[in-house]
Structure 1
Amino acid sequence: MPLIDEGYIKYKIDWKNVILEADDFLLHLMHYRDKLKYQNLIGVYPDGIGFGNISQRIYNSTEFYISGTQTGAIENSAIKDYSKVTDFSFSQNSLHCEGEVKASSESLTHGAFYIFGYKINAVIHVHHKNLWNTLLGIVPTTPTHIKYGTPEMAFEIQRLITHYELSEKQILVMAGHEEGIFTFGESLEEAYDVLMQYMDLYI
């Protein structure tokens, strides 16, 4: 498996290029992804680098659907814009996925929420500079030296879920990933509502 380092994916990836079949999990995920795109919480910067991603656990497994890497510019997403993560390892910094696109660069971080938070079924990662600046250090915040999409970030998620108030707050700010914010919940609705509550309070 080649190690991809293009400023996006930082893990070793084993990608199977197949066509995913539509199911309720994936269709529901598409709906919320497109809502976030409409709100410019998922998108693309002027330099062409995409930001934001969203995932949904599949039943009670550690498999999950996630928006594909560099799909932020797409207004109305289709099944081909998503990937199914079937396995991953923090210690080996590796991930297996399938679909017509590779999984998001933040997939290992999403996986950490599902591994260490057994009630978590949906994870949203958005970029919003003003909200990020406001919440930095107020809600659970990862250290500046820990970078996105790395095993270190996954283990930091474990630490915050296990020992701190992350499970209660349901929101995380990444100090080392400017503008980056995560919310999560038992459903996509809950994860989205948590984000909107903080937006309403502070923006």
Structure 2
Amino acid sequence: MTTTPDEGVIKYVSHWTPGAPLEESELTELMAWRDRMHQAQHIGLYPNGIGYGNISLRRSTHSFAVSGTQTGHLAHTTPHHYTLVDTWDIDRNTLHCTGPIQASSESLTHAALYDYSSAIQAIIHIHNRPLWQRGQGVLPTTAASVPYGTPAMAYEMIRLLDCSDLMQTRILIMAGHEEGVLVFGPTLAAAAQVLYQHID
């Protein structure tokens, strides 16, 4: 697997207010599913040191908890590896988070999905080459020219939600983000179930 030099790099303008972690009780489910995804190698670290995959859970109409940047190498996470994204502006390519760590490089993409529908309560972004290759053009697929973590990718989410059956399938292939697959649902368990239905 080769990755482009900017894989795992935050591309939006990140406004981070360092702060205390969220309560562990609020993150129990998120940590459990994230660590399961790591155990299955859907979230992790490539040999070149670049991390991949992230996970989030809606907290309110305009906020969500998300795994922090550069945490892909961790087999087990704690509340210190998550942050609260509380404001964002896709047009301006900005995002604000509060917590012990900066938000994942894919957080603007998560924000676009949460903006779109209150039915979307949980998002899991994983890397899986067989599914990524097999699903392109079969499942809802972003344009290959669109890079991850950008306003263009956020708008691709909206395009697919508007113009495909993505709200029903709840899984998409990120053609311009090698191996990238994203699932969502009303719960983390439901999002994970969609993933398991499509993995060999």
**Paired residues of 1:25 and 1:58 also in contact (CA < 8 A):** no
Q: Which amino acid aligns with 1:35?
A: R
**Paired residues of 1:25 and 1:56 also in contact (CA < 8 A):** no
1:62-73 → structure 2 map (5 Å cutoff): 62-73=62-73
**In 1, distance between residues paired with 2:26 and 2:94?**
24
Counterpart of 1:13 in 2: which secondary structure? strand
Per the alignment, residue 37 of structure 1 pairs with 38
Specify whether residues 80 and 23 from structure 1 end up closer, same or farther in structure 2 by C-alpha distance, changes over 3 A only: closer
**In 2, distance between residues paired with 1:22 and 1:132?**
35
**In 2, distance between residues paired with 1:23 and 1:72?**
20
**1:118 has 2:118 as partner:** yes
**1:48 has 2:49 as partner:** yes
**Paired residues of 1:16 and 1:97 also in contact (CA < 8 A):** yes
**In 1, distance between residues paired with 2:117 and 2:195?**
18
Counterpart of 1:86 in 2: which secondary structure? strand
**In 2, distance between residues paired with 1:198 and 1:184?**
13
**In 2, distance between residues paired with 1:19 and 1:25?**
13
Q: Which amino acid aligns with 1:177?
A: H
Counterpart of 2:172 in 1: which secondary structure? strand
**1:15 has 2:48 as partner:** no
Q: Which amino acid aligns with 1:149?
A: G
**In 2, distance between residues paired with 1:90 and 1:25?**
27
User: Unaligned regions of 5+ residues in structure 1, if any?
Assistant: none
Post-superposition shift, 1:23? Answer: 4.9
Per the alignment, residue 108 of structure 2 pairs with 108
1:1-203 → structure 2 map (5 Å cutoff): 7=7, 8-59=9-60, 61-199=61-199, 203=200
**In 2, distance between residues paired with 1:172 and 1:151?**
17
Post-superposition shift, 1:6? Answer: 5.9
**In 1, distance between residues paired with 2:44 and 2:192?**
16
**In 1, distance between residues paired with 2:17 and 2:110?**
19
**How many equivalent residue pairs?**
195
Q: What TM-score do the two structures reach when normalised by structure 2?
A: 0.94
**In 2, distance between residues paired with 1:21 and 1:74?**
19
1:112-158 Cα offsets, whole Å, 9 max, x none, are 11001220000000001111111111000000111100001111111
**In 2, distance between residues paired with 1:87 and 1:6?**
24
1:78-133 Cα offsets, whole Å, 9 max, x none, are 11111110100101000000111100000000011100122000000000111111
Decide which moves more: 79-88 or 157-166: 157-166
Counterpart of 2:196 in 1: which secondary structure? helix
**In 2, distance between residues paired with 1:190 and 1:39?**
17
**In 1, distance between residues paired with 2:170 and 2:111?**
16
